Amino acid sequence: MKDKIMKSKDRQEKNVLLDKITKSRTKIDRQAERKLNPELAETIILTKKNEAWLPVASLLSYPRRKQISKNLDEIDKESREGDTIIVPGKVLGNGEVSKKIRVVGISFSKSAREKLKARKCEIVSILEEIKVNPKANGLKILK
């Protein structure tokens, strides 16, 4: 009996956490329909289908003026050696990365790609990461 209560509490806590982070799937659908970038639209649809990736779908569906872009120095401050960092937007090349990390994002500037490759960091698109890690284990989302 206690196990059932604990499991339901865990589910409730998880749902409350997801509600704070995410929008409804219907709202995400409506916003995804307006996207002109086919890769972004496909990424939003795939992330929306998986419960673990729903917070990323919510962030990706923001309007263009609210989309997230992070510089390498901001990513470096927020990460530790060996982390997998998700940037639901564009990774920009301002600053340096001092750690070997795995950066997952929608797009990368030319200078960001060069600097990450020089540090032997792994650069992955969100579509590829969904296929490799469908349960979103060990990911850190930068907002």
pLDDT band at 22 (very low <50, low <70, confident <90, very high): low
Structure confidence at residue 122 (pLDDT): 95
Residues 6+ away with beta carbon under 8 Å from 74: 95, 142
As for how many domains the chain has, the answer is 1
Structure confidence at residue 114 (pLDDT): 96
**How far is Cα 35 from Cα 60, in angstroms, rounded to an integer?**
10
Phi and psi at residue 49, to the nearest 5°: -70, -25
Task: Give me the chain's average pLDDT, please.
Answer: 84
Average pLDDT over every residue of 65-71:
90
Copy the structure tokens of residue 79: 């990460």
Single pTM value for the model: 0.77
Give the CATH number for residue 56.
3.100.10.10
Structure confidence at residue 79 (pLDDT): 93
Lowest mean pLDDT, pick from 22-36, 38-52, 62-76: 22-36
Average pLDDT over every residue of 61-73:
89
Kindly tell me if the per-residue pLDDT of 104 is higher than 50: yes
Kindly tell me if the per-residue pLDDT of 85 is higher than 90: yes
Which runs of E-coded beta strand occur in the chain? Answer: 68-71, 84-92, 102-108, 122-125, 139-141
Residues 6+ away with beta carbon under 8 Å from 95: 71, 72, 73, 74, 76
Domain containing 15 equals 2-141
